[in-house]
Structure 1
Amino acid sequence: MNRTDRINTMMRYINNRQYFTIRELTTQFNISRSTAIRDLNTIQELGMPLTASVGRDGGYAVLQNQLLPAVQFNSEELKALFVSFLATLNTQLPYLQNRKTLTEKLVAIASQTQQDDLLTLQELLVFDHTNPRNPKLTELADHAPVLLKPLLNACLTTRQLVLTTAQKTRTVWVHHVFNRQNNWYVDAWDLTQHRFVQLAIAQLTQVAPVAKDQTIDPAAIKAAIRQARPQPNVRLQLNAAAIQRFQQHPHPTVALQFRDAFQQTAILACFLDPADAHQIADFGRWYLYLGAGAQISQAPAPLIHYLRQTAQRLLTDLPQ
């Protein structure tokens, strides 16, 4: 840890305590007594109000009711935040509708040299979802579905929700909210039908919490899920190329089972509801995305039928 990082960490450490000693600082940060004193002098120069008491260990306290200095970022931390924003361009993330103001505030706290570095990074880096002709962070062209943010906010209070689409209203327990192929979905346990369902968030028309007097004990929900969890009816074998694609766009509900120490081959096993045409089509498109490195060893008939139809259509559409 360099001196700048140590002082920033030390300021947070001090701010969380009413009283501390130099001995505590030397132990916590593995530094000498003289180094601790120099760091404290620097911290006081930065504006943190400290009072010293007489004693062998040199006790200190932070003056109460005093404004502490604003959070400061070093150059590498600023780059990390800025690059994180760049990596999320055009991914329709929630809570990023204010990316423009966030970016302006981030750049505002940077020095002129740091600003130049950030702008150079913006010109250099192009991620998968970035439009090379429009890489600016302040352009908001990646709005998420309207109800994605309300859904997530509701889940922070309770994961038992009433989700309404144009066709149906479901009472569910939300398991995952995931993004695949630029679309957002909610993977949820239907509390009435006692099975998992996947709903496109763009198709939701209303999100509401379950009434408190109608909520179910979470332990009972998890027990029901364990009891009703079906055996996998889809099994894929993946080589290194397919594994790499999986890692870029993983399946939201399952993990790979690697078959060798170098993680060059793997098996994916999951369950698809043969009666759910939307789920079958969604998985079929994702399977085709994995490429020739993914081979099916087991699958329900509707998935095989969907893949055959898709392949036939592609062959038919090829020019003669």
Structure 2
Amino acid sequence: MKKSERLNQMLRFINQKQQFTLRDLMEQFQISKRTAIRDIAALEELGAPIYAEYGRYGGYRLLTQIQLPPISFTNQEIYALYFAMQSLKSFSTTPFQISFQSIHNKFLHELSENQRKEIERMQNRISFHHIRQIKDSEHLDTLLMAAVKNIVLQITYQTTSKKSTRIIHPIAIYTMKGYWYCQAYDMNKKAYRVFRCDRITSAEATTIQPDEKLIDITFENAHSLWRPSKTAIHFKCLMTNQAGIERFKQEHYPSMKLLYEREGTFLVGSYETNETSFIMTYLAGFGKSIKIIEPVKLKEDLQQYYLDLIEHL
């Protein structure tokens, strides 16, 4: 990082912290103690009101907040931001109802003529293949903000067979294979659930207090809430090649994991009795990369799945 850019970021860093130490700067910007001292001197020359506090618990204090300069981006950062925006093209609905075209037009308007021409030339040399969003999800912003603010919602959930009312504590939303999903804790069933957002036809805030243990749960650790039911069917499959392992890493669910043993790598997990169709479709996608060890019923069901498929063809 160039010194001018580091000093700019350092101004923003200390303006936010107000009090800091040399160690803070060294860790944040990966610089030596000597460089940190020189940078503080440079900031003081630029007019930053920094006051040194001596003693065992000393450090530096910012006497007043600084009027920060506008954020500026390098050409490389601008190109990276532009192409990160390309993912929005895949979605007809996003949180806050933001469209790619709206951001695209504003972004290009702020660029220099040379930067716009450079991006146009890049567009003809790079391509992003996204799975297009299959169905609109009209309550994404409500679900996301409920997760951020720990608000319990009452939702109406429409499946292919019935409509039901649920009380949920949203944890996070994510997109996969053209659909938006909401990780949540079902307050009625007292269990972790994942809801297809396009099937949520209404979402309203309630006055119900969220469970304290859920407040710090995030997308990354939400799967720890999942528990199989007493009637869940446990299975074990041998991964016969590396392609199967790679496929699992690309798509898997909280009810399953890889188990490494001396005999090989196994896919283990469980599925509910009403999820037989789902597990058949999922395992069939592995082709010859997987061999069912147990239960025998699962192997028989998958064989029948293939026979039905052949007969259909």
Instruction: Tell me whether the two structures share a fold, i.e. TM-score over 0.5.
Output: yes
Q: Say how many residue pairs are matched.
A: 286
What's 2:56 paired with?
Answer: none
> Is the Cα–Cα contact under 8 Å of residues 237 and 294 in structure 2 kept in the other structure?
yes
1:100 and 2:98 aligned: no
Correspondence for 2:141: 149
Q: Taking structure 1 as reference, are residues 74 and 191 closer, same or farther at Cα in structure 2, changes over 3 Å only?
A: same
SS at match of 1:69: coil
Aligned counterparts, 1:119-158, within 5 A? 119-129=120-130, 144-158=136-150
Matches within 5 A, 1:2-13: 2-13=2-13
Q: Cα RMSD between the aligned structures?
A: 4.5
1:314 and 2:312 equivalent? no
Q: CA deviation at 1:190?
A: 3.5
Alpha-carbon distance in structure 1 between the residues aligned to 2:174 and 2:20: 45
Q: Relative to 1, partners in 2 of residues 1:118 and 1:294: Cα closer, same or farther, differing over 3 Å? A: farther
Counterpart-to-counterpart distance in 1, 2:255 and 2:17 = 43
Kindly state the Cα deviation for residue 210 of structure 1 after the two structures are TM-superposed: 4.1
Which whole-Å CA distance do the structure 2 matches of 1:148 and 1:168 have between them?
Answer: 19
Work out the CA distance in 2 between the residues paired with 1:23 and 1:259: 41
Letter in 2 for 1:184: W
**Secondary structure class of the residue paired with 2:129:** coil
1:205 to 201, 204, 209: 201
Distance in 1, matches of 2:23 and 2:189, equals 62
1:172 is aligned with what amino acid? I
Residue 94 to residue 255, structure 1, CA distance change in 2 (3 Å): farther
| CA drift at 1:52 | 8.6
TM superposition score normalised by structure 1: 0.66
Q: Secondary structure at the match of 1:199?
A: strand
Identity fraction in percent: 19
Cα 1:18–1:129 shift into 2, 3 Å: closer
Report if aligned partners of 1:25, 1:36 keep a CA contact under 8 Å in 2.
no
Structure 2 match to 1:185: 181
Q: Offset at 1:38? A: 9.3
Name the structure 1 match of 2:54: none
Contact conserved, 2:22 with 2:37, CA < 8 A, in 1? Answer: no
Corresponding residue number in structure 1 for 2:156: 164
Alignment of 1:1-320 (within 5 A): 1-16=1-16, 29-30=31-32, 32=35, 36=39, 40=43, 44=46, 50=48, 67-90=67-90, 94-95=94-95, 97-129=98-130, 144-158=136-150, 160-166=152-158, 167-174=163-170, 177-212=173-208, 216-218=211-213, 233-238=234-239, 239-248=241-250, 250-253=251-254, 256-257=257-258, 259=260, 266-274=265-273, 276=274, 279-298=275-294, 301=297, 305=301, 307-308=302-303, 310-318=305-313
Gaps of 5+ in 2: 52-59
Measure, in 1, the Cα distance between the counterparts of 2:182 and 2:26. 49
Matched residue SS, 1:212: coil
Q: Give the superposition deviation at 1:315.
A: 1.4
Partner SS for 2:149: coil
2:145 aligned counterpart, secondary structure: helix
Q: Is the 8 A contact 2:156 2:200 kept in 1?
A: yes
1:90 positional shift: 1.5
C-alpha change, 1:103 and 1:284, in structure 2 (3 Å) is farther
The equivalent residue for 1:138 is: none
Instruction: Output the TM-score relative to the length of structure 2.
Output: 0.67
Say which SS state the counterpart of residue 11 (structure 1) adopts.
helix
Q: Supply the distance in 2 between the matched residues of 1:317 and 1:228 (Cα, whole angstroms).
A: 33
TM-aligned CA deviation for residue 19 of structure 1: 8.3
* Whole-angstrom CA distance in 2 between matches of 1:292 and 1:61: 64
How big is the shift at 1:247?
A: 3.2
Structure 1 residue ranges without an equivalent (≥5) = 54-58, 132-140
Distance 1:23 1:311 in 2: 62
Residues 51 and 61 of structure 1 are in contact (CA less than 8 Å); yes or no, is this contact kept in structure 2? yes
Instruction: Decide whether aligned partners of structure 1 residues 13 and 155 sit closer, same or farther in structure 2, where only a CA change above 3 A counts.
Output: closer
Aligned residue for 2:103, secondary structure, equals helix
Pair 112,81 (structure 1): closer, same or farther in 2 beyond 3 Å: same
1:156 aligns to what SS in structure 2? helix
Local SS of the residue matching 1:128: coil
- Aligned equivalents of 1:243, 1:259: Cα separation in 2: 11
